[in-house]
A and B are shown apart, each in its own frame.
Chain A
Amino acid sequence: MNDPVIRDDIQQCIDWVPRGARVLDVGCSDGELMALLRTHKQVRVQGIELDPDKVNACIGRGLAVIQGDANIDLLDYPDQAFDVVVLSQTLQAMLHPRETLRQLGRIAPRAIVSTPNFAYWRGVMQLLFAGRMPVTKHLPVTWYETANIHLCTITDFLELAALESFTICDGTCFDADVRARPWNITGLGARLLATQASFLLEKRLSPL
């Protein structure tokens, strides 16, 4: 059942997290998702955030958060320290997305990753007809100022996840208003119409 005030992508994330799980939210911002997970799923949740003001916002909500750089600090967590690790709209800002994904797989058996879709049609049009890096409602910052240094498409992400031996357990696409849409994540509709997508990944155990 959807709470009307919760955005669809956040609701999707909440739905995927099992009740009572140990959760790590990487790039947790002001703790909105963590607070919701705590309320709706009674999870034990820990966050990592770079911006000190956002860290303070989390702490003020009674959430456990570490001010740090996820590019480095993920290495400090032991293997399988959590049940679920969440990386929401952050992968594209990481220095080494493949290594980050590898770390997520090491820290928890399940990962929830959401990423903007660079193949969204408005962006493609700007590339094609204006010859410029897209500036849209969803990726509003110019190429020279954006923190998004590793943008990818849904297809690109699925390929990387497969390279790192992740199974895609579930995936949801979101339209320009961040409404969940029933598009097949590998289909043409999702490829062009989704502004972002969320994935529930499970690490395939390597044969002994």
Chain B
Amino acid sequence: MCLPEPIALDGGAVLDTVEVAYTCYGQLNAARNNAILVCHALTGDHFMAETHPVTGKPGWWANIVGSGKPLNTDHYAIFCINVLGGCLGTLGPTSINPASGEIYGLDFPVITINDIVKVQHALMQYRGIPCWHAVVGGSMGAMQVLSWATHWPDKLRVAVPIAGAVRHSAQNIAFHEVGRQAIMADPDWCAGKYLSQNTKPKRGLAVARMAAHVTYLSEECLHEKFGRHLQDRDSLTYGFDADFRVESYLRHQGKSFVQRFDANSYLYLTRAMDYFDIEAEFGSLDTALRGRDVKYCVIAFTSDWLFPISESRVLVKALNRVGAEVSFSAIETNCGHDAFLLDLPPFADMLRGFIAGIAR
């Protein structure tokens, strides 16, 4: 659908025509008070509980969202909206710029997490939903959850930020910069105009994905999964082929990623994450969180070194200081940051318990 109103961005630009792609699983009730918003992560999309149209794989949260699942579609209408700046239906750098009639590319304005949420809010109004029962999201999704809870606190009852942080850390900005430079160093990037030149910076985007993918896992999980095992060979080749299974795996990750994701979208969305800092935005964390009637369930994973538990604890401590109602649990796992995408019973149980518990 196309939003009826323009969206004014944090950076000053105004987007007049905003196309939004989203999915809804389950039925809105008559009172329209059973809607849950799931915010997807950096490279996620709104196909969270159905076969992906590009990859043909199950949705990224198919084990969490569905009939009888922790986010139960028998009771809730569960929305997922492709983020602004994304590349699977919602307005982004691959869309046509109405001003020039050409693909936006780098003429697309730089966006923030709040801008993404503004679009979600406009869609919420369009669908006539007065208040989300819950807003849930992991990683970049957690940033959107916190943006909702601080900017639109009367539009949600509970906030569930998973594997998130109140600001993007220097280390995380650094990793993102590595990815962006890899994309921009690819000659096929063509200063962002690759689509009009019928090419794609596949190598650059694949390298960006490979580097980022390592940060989503953990040393222990890489060791367990791959060790030093060789790939389809009995001995070292004394060359730069993918001798090791872990190399082959990463190359595959990179290759399959470029099939479904746009390089410029990757630049814009990583930038939006880098800019995220609630403390800077509100002056202090306590100011951002105080006096808001939002219940929180904060979830982190023990082996996550990209958004470590300590980052979630900063949020929890601030919520304690302002007297907010908050639950927090650090889920024991060696799967690293991506744990929220895996079929992890303690995590699923906690989410199920919390969502069921607040209804009580």
Contact = CB atoms under 8 A, between A and B. Distances in A.
Interface stretch (B88-96, B121-129, B220-228, B329-337): B329-337
Interface residues of B, number: 26
A171 B354 CA distance: 36
A81 to B, nearest CB: 6
A67 B329 contact: yes
B347 to A, nearest CB: 10
B260 to A, nearest CB: 35
Contact of A67 (B317, B325, B328, B349): B328
10 contacts: A55-B329, A57-B353, A60-B357, A61-B353, A62-B356, A64-B295, A65-B328, A66-B327, A76-B320, A76-B321
Contacts of B352: 60
A77 B331 CA distance: 23
B328 A66 contact: yes
Contacts of A155: none
B360 A67 contact: no
B349 A62 contact: no
Contacts of B316: 66, 68, 76
Contacts of A76: 316-317, 320-321
A59 B327 contact: yes
A59 B325 contact: no
B327 A81 contact: no
Contacts of B329: 52, 55-56, 59, 67
Nearest to B349: A56
Interface string A43-66: 010100000100111111111111
Interface residues of A, number: 22
A63 B328 CA distance: 11
Contacts of A131: none
Given A67-B330, A68-B328, A78-B320, 16 more contacts: A44-B325, A52-B331, A56-B346, A58-B327, A59-B297, A59-B354, A59-B357, A61-B357, A61-B360, A62-B356, A64-B326, A66-B320, A67-B329, A68-B316, A76-B317, A78-B323
Contacts of A52: 329-332, 346
Interface in A48-105: 52, 55-68, 76-78, 81
B336 to A, nearest CB: 18
Contacts of B246: none
Contacts of B357: 59-63
A62 B360 contact: yes
A64 B284 CA distance: 24
A202 to B, nearest CB: 21
B356 A60 contact: yes
Contacts, number: 69
A65 B321 CA distance: 15
Contacts of A55: 327, 329
B250 interface: no
B326 A66 contact: yes
B325 A64 contact: yes
The 10 residue pairs across chains A and B that have the minimum distance between CB atoms: A62-B357, A60-B353, A62-B360, A67-B329, A76-B317, A66-B328, A64-B325, A59-B353, A55-B329, A59-B354
Contacts of A60: 349, 352-354, 356-357
B14 interface: no
B327 A64 contact: yes
Contacts of A59: 297, 327, 329, 350, 353-354, 357
Contacts of B327: 55, 58-59, 63-66
B174 to A, nearest CB: 29
Contacts of B326: 46, 64, 66
Interface in B286-330: 295, 297, 316-317, 320-321, 323, 325-330
B160 to A, nearest CB: 11
A81 B346 CA distance: 31
Contacts of A61: 353, 357, 360
B69 to A, nearest CB: 15
Interface in B83-121: none
Nearest to A22: B323
Nearest to A78: B321
A66 B349 CA distance: 16
A62 B320 contact: no
A76 B329 CA distance: 16
A77 B332 CA distance: 25
Contacts of B332: 52
A104 B316 CA distance: 19
Contacts of A68: 316, 328
A17 B316 CA distance: 26
